[in-house]
Amino acid sequence: MNTHIDSTSDDRITNNAVRHQYRKLSDREKAQMQDIKDMGGTFIAKLHEIGGTGHGGDCFGSRDLALANTHIEDAVMRAVRHITA
């Protein structure tokens, strides 16, 4: 059984314990959400490149890069919340 649901899928409403109601997203909104997440992922990958920490994980080359990662994650979350509100 697949326990993961794509974030752009209309089925994302089936496994959320916090938000009680979701609306169906338009194709444009789904594309916007995917673009924002892709941009965030690209930016985080660049932080790993700059810090010499490879491709992923929670380890960054410095506290400044770790904070940059936190802010990227926050920015992506808030942009997605705007799109899905």
Average pLDDT over residues 56-77: 92
Coil, helix or strand at residue 44: helix
- 7: which residues sit within 8 A by CB, 6+ positions away? 33, 34, 37, 80
6-23: per-residue pLDDT in tens? 777 776 666 666 666 778
Phi, psi of 60 (to 5 degrees): -120, 165
C-beta separation of 73 from 39 below 8 A = no
If one counts every other C-beta atom within 10 angstroms of the C-beta of residue 39, the result is: 14
How would residue 75 be classed by pLDDT, with cut points 50, 70 and 90? very high
Domain boundaries, the chain: 25-84
